Amino acid sequence: MSFKEGRNKKIMVKIFDQLFQMLRRYSKVFAIRFDLRFCLETYNNKMISKFRDRLNRRLSKKYKCDIGYVWVREQTESAETSHYHYVLFLNGHKTWKSFGFGKIIDSVCDSLNHFSPYYPKNNGYMIKRDDSKSMQRVIYRLSYLAKNESKGNRPRGVSDYGTSRLKDL
Protein backbone atom coordinates (compact mmCIF):
# COMPACT_ATOMS: atom_id res chain seq x y z
CA MET A 1 0.00 0.00 0.00
CA SER A 2 1.12 3.55 -0.53
CA PHE A 3 0.48 6.36 1.92
CA LYS A 4 0.70 10.13 1.80
CA GLU A 5 3.33 10.20 4.56
CA GLY A 6 5.00 6.95 3.50
CA ARG A 7 5.74 3.76 5.41
CA ASN A 8 7.95 3.15 8.40
CA LYS A 9 10.63 0.80 7.06
CA LYS A 10 11.64 -0.35 10.54
CA ILE A 11 8.10 -1.59 11.25
CA MET A 12 7.90 -3.30 7.84
CA VAL A 13 11.18 -5.10 8.52
CA LYS A 14 9.88 -6.28 11.90
CA ILE A 15 6.66 -7.56 10.31
CA PHE A 16 8.65 -9.46 7.64
CA ASP A 17 11.07 -10.82 10.21
CA GLN A 18 8.38 -12.31 12.44
CA LEU A 19 6.41 -13.68 9.48
CA PHE A 20 9.54 -15.33 8.04
CA GLN A 21 10.48 -16.72 11.46
CA MET A 22 7.07 -18.40 11.57
CA LEU A 23 7.48 -19.72 8.00
CA ARG A 24 10.79 -21.27 9.05
CA ARG A 25 8.91 -23.16 11.76
CA TYR A 26 5.77 -24.08 9.81
CA SER A 27 5.22 -24.56 6.07
CA LYS A 28 1.83 -22.86 6.48
CA VAL A 29 1.21 -19.83 8.69
CA PHE A 30 -2.20 -18.36 9.45
CA ALA A 31 -2.30 -14.60 10.03
CA ILE A 32 -5.25 -12.86 11.64
CA ARG A 33 -5.56 -9.09 11.82
CA PHE A 34 -7.79 -7.08 14.16
CA ASP A 35 -7.93 -3.70 15.85
CA LEU A 36 -8.20 -2.70 19.49
CA ARG A 37 -9.70 0.61 20.53
CA PHE A 38 -8.85 1.94 23.94
CA CYS A 39 -11.76 3.08 26.07
CA LEU A 40 -9.52 5.36 28.17
CA GLU A 41 -6.42 7.31 27.29
CA THR A 42 -3.19 5.61 28.20
CA TYR A 43 0.23 7.13 28.49
CA ASN A 44 2.14 3.89 28.08
CA ASN A 45 1.76 0.45 26.49
CA LYS A 46 1.22 -1.53 29.69
CA MET A 47 -2.34 -2.52 28.79
CA ILE A 48 -1.40 -3.83 25.34
CA SER A 49 1.32 -5.87 27.07
CA LYS A 50 -1.26 -7.34 29.46
CA PHE A 51 -3.55 -8.04 26.54
CA ARG A 52 -0.74 -9.76 24.61
CA ASP A 53 0.28 -11.89 27.60
CA ARG A 54 -3.28 -13.09 28.29
CA LEU A 55 -4.02 -13.71 24.62
CA ASN A 56 -0.78 -15.62 24.03
CA ARG A 57 -1.38 -17.75 27.12
CA ARG A 58 -4.83 -18.76 25.86
CA LEU A 59 -3.66 -19.37 22.29
CA SER A 60 -0.62 -21.37 23.43
CA LYS A 61 -2.85 -23.58 25.53
CA LYS A 62 -5.29 -24.15 22.67
CA TYR A 63 -2.92 -24.50 19.69
CA LYS A 64 0.34 -25.63 21.34
CA CYS A 65 2.54 -23.80 18.83
CA ASP A 66 4.78 -20.77 18.60
CA ILE A 67 2.92 -17.49 18.29
CA GLY A 68 4.18 -14.48 16.40
CA TYR A 69 2.61 -11.05 16.65
CA VAL A 70 2.99 -7.43 15.67
CA TRP A 71 1.05 -4.50 17.11
CA VAL A 72 1.22 -0.83 16.24
CA ARG A 73 -0.10 2.07 18.28
CA GLU A 74 -1.81 4.92 16.49
CA GLN A 75 -3.36 8.16 17.58
CA THR A 76 -4.34 11.11 15.45
CA GLU A 77 -3.57 14.56 16.81
CA SER A 78 -7.29 15.27 17.24
CA ALA A 79 -8.17 11.95 18.92
CA GLU A 80 -8.34 11.68 22.68
CA THR A 81 -7.48 7.98 22.80
CA SER A 82 -5.10 5.68 20.99
CA HIS A 83 -5.91 2.50 19.13
CA TYR A 84 -3.89 -0.53 18.12
CA HIS A 85 -3.67 -2.62 14.98
CA TYR A 86 -2.70 -6.20 15.78
CA VAL A 87 -1.69 -9.24 13.75
CA LEU A 88 -1.16 -12.78 15.02
CA PHE A 89 0.85 -15.47 13.25
CA LEU A 90 -0.01 -19.09 14.11
CA ASN A 91 0.77 -22.56 12.81
CA GLY A 92 -1.41 -22.92 9.70
CA HIS A 93 -1.57 -26.68 10.18
CA LYS A 94 -3.50 -26.19 13.43
CA THR A 95 -5.81 -23.35 12.42
CA TRP A 96 -6.92 -22.05 9.05
CA LYS A 97 -9.92 -19.78 9.65
CA SER A 98 -10.40 -16.56 11.58
CA PHE A 99 -13.74 -17.92 12.84
CA GLY A 100 -13.49 -18.58 16.57
CA PHE A 101 -10.66 -16.16 17.29
CA GLY A 102 -13.19 -13.43 18.00
CA LYS A 103 -14.47 -15.29 21.05
CA ILE A 104 -10.98 -15.61 22.49
CA ILE A 105 -10.04 -11.99 21.72
CA ASP A 106 -13.38 -10.69 23.05
CA SER A 107 -12.90 -12.69 26.24
CA VAL A 108 -9.44 -11.24 26.82
CA CYS A 109 -10.76 -7.72 26.13
CA ASP A 110 -13.64 -8.26 28.57
CA SER A 111 -11.24 -9.44 31.27
CA LEU A 112 -9.23 -6.21 30.95
CA ASN A 113 -12.18 -3.77 30.63
CA HIS A 114 -10.13 -1.35 28.53
CA PHE A 115 -10.31 -2.57 24.94
CA SER A 116 -13.02 -2.73 22.34
CA PRO A 117 -12.07 -5.08 19.47
CA TYR A 118 -12.88 -4.53 15.80
CA TYR A 119 -12.56 -7.21 13.12
CA PRO A 120 -12.10 -5.93 9.57
CA LYS A 121 -13.48 -7.91 6.64
CA ASN A 122 -11.18 -10.56 5.20
CA ASN A 123 -8.95 -10.49 8.27
CA GLY A 124 -7.53 -14.02 7.95
CA TYR A 125 -4.72 -15.10 5.63
CA MET A 126 -3.12 -18.45 4.98
CA ILE A 127 0.49 -18.03 3.92
CA LYS A 128 2.33 -20.97 2.41
CA ARG A 129 6.10 -21.08 2.56
CA ASP A 130 6.68 -21.46 -1.19
CA ASP A 131 3.63 -19.55 -2.45
CA SER A 132 4.53 -16.01 -3.48
CA LYS A 133 0.89 -15.04 -4.14
CA SER A 134 -0.19 -15.84 -0.59
CA MET A 135 2.86 -13.92 0.66
CA GLN A 136 2.10 -10.86 -1.50
CA ARG A 137 -1.52 -10.66 -0.29
CA VAL A 138 -0.61 -10.66 3.38
CA ILE A 139 2.34 -8.29 2.98
CA TYR A 140 0.14 -5.84 1.08
CA ARG A 141 -2.50 -5.98 3.82
CA LEU A 142 -0.01 -5.74 6.68
CA SER A 143 1.81 -2.78 5.13
CA TYR A 144 -1.08 -0.72 6.53
CA LEU A 145 0.40 -1.25 9.99
CA ALA A 146 3.58 0.52 8.92
CA LYS A 147 1.99 3.73 7.64
CA ASN A 148 3.59 6.84 9.14
CA GLU A 149 0.30 8.72 9.52
CA SER A 150 -0.96 8.75 13.11
CA LYS A 151 2.33 7.42 14.49
CA GLY A 152 4.43 9.46 16.87
CA ASN A 153 1.44 11.09 18.61
CA ARG A 154 2.31 9.52 21.94
CA PRO A 155 4.09 10.39 25.14
CA ARG A 156 7.87 10.45 25.03
CA GLY A 157 9.42 7.04 25.68
CA VAL A 158 6.33 5.12 24.51
CA SER A 159 6.78 2.86 21.50
CA ASP A 160 4.72 2.99 18.31
CA TYR A 161 4.96 -0.79 17.87
CA GLY A 162 5.86 -4.10 19.44
CA THR A 163 6.62 -7.56 18.06
CA SER A 164 7.22 -11.09 19.15
CA ARG A 165 10.91 -11.93 19.36
CA LEU A 166 11.05 -15.21 17.47
CA LYS A 167 14.61 -16.12 16.56
CA ASP A 168 16.16 -18.53 14.07
CA LEU A 169 15.77 -22.15 15.08
Nearest to 160, CA basis, from 8, 17, 13, 40: 8
Q: What are phi and psi of 26, to 5 degrees?
A: -135, 140
Is the predicted pLDDT of residue 7 greater than 60, yes or no? yes
On whether the pTM is more than 0.85, the answer is yes
Q: pLDDT: is 113 or 57 the higher one?
A: 57
Give the pLDDT confidence of 89-143 residue by residue, as tens digits: 999 999 877 778 889 999 999 998 878 899 999 899 999 999 999 999 998 889 8
Q: Cα 75 to chain center, whole Å? A: 16
CA of residue 41 relative to chain centroid, distance: 20
Could you tell me where the beta strands, DSSP code E, fall in 16-92? Answer: 28-38, 68-74, 83-91
